[in-house]
Amino acid sequence: MEGDKKYITGEDLKQHNKEGDLWISIQGKVYNVSDWAHEHPGGDVALLNLAGQDVTDAFIAYHPGTAWQYLDKFFTGFYLKDFKVSETSKDYRRLASEFAKLGLFEKKGHITMYALASIALMFCVVLYGVLCCKSVWAHLGSAVVLGFLWIQSAYIGHDSGHYQVMKSRGYNKLAQFLAGNSLTGISIAWWKWTHNAHHLACNSLDYDPDLQHIPVFAVNSTFFNSIKSCFYGRHLDFDPVARFFVSYQHWTFYPVMCVARVNLYVQTFLLLFSKRKFPDRALNIVGILIFWTWFPLLVSCLPNWPERVMFVLASFTVTAIQHVQFCLNHFAADVYTGPPKGNDWFEKQTGGTLDISCSSWMDWFYGGLQFQLEHHLFPRMPRCQLRRVSPLVQDLCKKHNLSYRSLSFWEANVWTIRRLRNVAQQARDLSNPVPKNMLWEAVNTHG
């Protein structure tokens, strides 16, 4: 004790880093969120990943100013004795405060209205093309339009998951329900569960689910050691099958992206019908049932099976544009192992992201996520403000000698394929101690 305050050290805080005994520090004040973790709107994974350390930067990034008033009920009475703030964090917090004073987190523009209107229009075009036209080209065009509809719907779901895009929380949840579950068939609950973990542990090989694609892809040779996924709670086995797929991943990347949507459907069902607790399970299931009602019915209206297969594959292939974009933002960036650290929040976000440079008239196409670093640093900021704050983020990176990488769409593809190829070549090395597979060795030894 010093005066009227009680202190604990950072080492003491680290001992409270597990479920049922979960403490965190925010601006040097220590809070016990053990019993509340499952009620956390962002999920318990976010708290567990940063448990036992100071989380001020992450708290500022994800919470509006009104959230501070709810902290007192979790205060332990302790303060962090060796609490220090890096110069980078000071500048980051100062920048976040300035943006808040300017109202940038509240000025959402009319993006959501335009996006919803375009989605409604595209849906009408799809219905007309399938139900009222007999031409195979009209049906193919409708599939393409449906693919773009899914892309824009995903952006609405993404925006509404990060901040309130509508006037009330109820309407915001309705937007998630319609744009996510009902139109795309992908559960917003699944998205929140994985996406929050991705943001907090950006490009951590064992904590970020967005990098854990064994047996199909590996962005780093660390996966050859069959590391344990701390997100899924299981080992990512690098067996002969995984080795075979990874050895050719730079060739299979784009074809896999064309059917990547199937994996999202599977992941949605695995979560919705699992024992894991998450909010609005019934609402999510209803939304998914709506999708799996209208989509098969729409496909069944096509005149024959070849056209039905063409329609599904074409619509899925269009969405590959978005799947590829998500990979470009992270696959070729820096990676690390272990849980995220609260004291290098800014550094980890800059290291784990790549921006895609484009003209302002293309912002609708990328959904604002071409400013990936800006989005990761300020996830509550509406996408229409990200281009405005980008120069300030660049200046801050330059001041602290941190990387700010902004590539053209073509360059980002080159970087990603190069990374995948380099890892593939390592996987092909027969000297690596991976369980023997005679067929694999025969093919790769003798061509």
Say what the pLDDT of residue 446 is: 44
Task: Give tens-digit pLDDT for 164-219.
Answer: 777 778 888 888 888 889 999 999 989 989 999 999 999 999 999 999 999 999 99
Same domain, residue pair 217 and 254 = yes
Same domain, residue pair 79 and 118 = no
Query: Residue 132: inside a domain, yes or no?
Result: yes
Say what the pLDDT of residue 263 is: 94
Question: What total number of domains does the chain contain?
Answer: 2
Of 319, 327, 385, residue with least CA distance to 354:
327
Task: Give tens-digit pLDDT for 21-49.
Answer: 999 999 999 999 998 888 888 888 888 88
Same domain, residue pair 125 and 72 = no
On whether the pTM is more than 0.75, the answer is yes
Same domain, residue pair 132 and 65 = no
Query: Residue 269: inside a domain, yes or no?
Result: yes
Report whether 348 contacts 60 (CB < 8 A): no
Rounded to 10 deg, the angle between the 169-176 and 136-162 helix axes is 140
Say what the pLDDT of residue 2 is: 58
DSSP 183: H
**Residue 444 pLDDT exceeds 90:** no
Same domain, residue pair 156 and 304 = yes
Across the range 220-239, mean pLDDT stands at: 94
Where does a domain end: 84, 102, 134? 84
Report whether 236 contacts 212 (CB < 8 A): yes
Task: Quickly list H helices, 102-207.
Answer: 111-131, 136-162, 169-176, 183-184, 188-200
Say what the pLDDT of residue 60 is: 92
Residue 116 structure tokens: 């919803």
Task: Give tens-digit pLDDT for 286-315.
Answer: 999 999 999 999 999 999 999 999 999 999
Confidence of residue 447 (pLDDT cuts 50, 70, 90): very low
Domain span at residue 63 reads 6-84
Mean predicted lDDT score pLDDT of the chain: 90
Say what the pLDDT of residue 107 is: 86
Query: Residue 375: inside a domain, yes or no?
Result: no
Count of all residues that appear for the chain in the document = 447
Q: Output the domain CATH number for residue 18.
A: 3.10.120.10
Same domain, residue pair 13 and 123 = no
Whole-Å CA distances, 256 to 14, 217, 267, 316, 415:
41, 10, 16, 11, 18
Confidence of residue 330 (pLDDT cuts 50, 70, 90): very high
Please tell me the distance from the alpha carbon of residue 432 to that of residue 445, in angstroms, as a whole number.
Answer: 14
Same domain, residue pair 56 and 137 = no
pLDDT, greater one: 102 or 277 = 102
Say what the pLDDT of residue 246 is: 96
Same domain, residue pair 29 and 136 = no
Task: Give tens-digit pLDDT for 341-390.
Answer: 877 888 999 999 999 999 998 988 899 999 999 999 999 999 999 999 99
Same domain, residue pair 61 and 182 = no
Same domain, residue pair 72 and 34 = yes
Say what the pLDDT of residue 152 is: 94
**Residue 3 pLDDT exceeds 70:** no
**Residue 431 pLDDT exceeds 70:** no
Say what the pLDDT of residue 440 is: 47
Query: Residue 353: inside a domain, yes or no?
Result: no
Please tell me the distance from the alpha carbon of residue 46 to that of residue 194, in angstroms, as a whole number.
Answer: 10
Query: Residue 443: inside a domain, yes or no?
Result: no
Same domain, residue pair 220 and 284 = yes
Where does a domain end: 84, 118, 150? 84
Same domain, residue pair 138 and 230 = yes
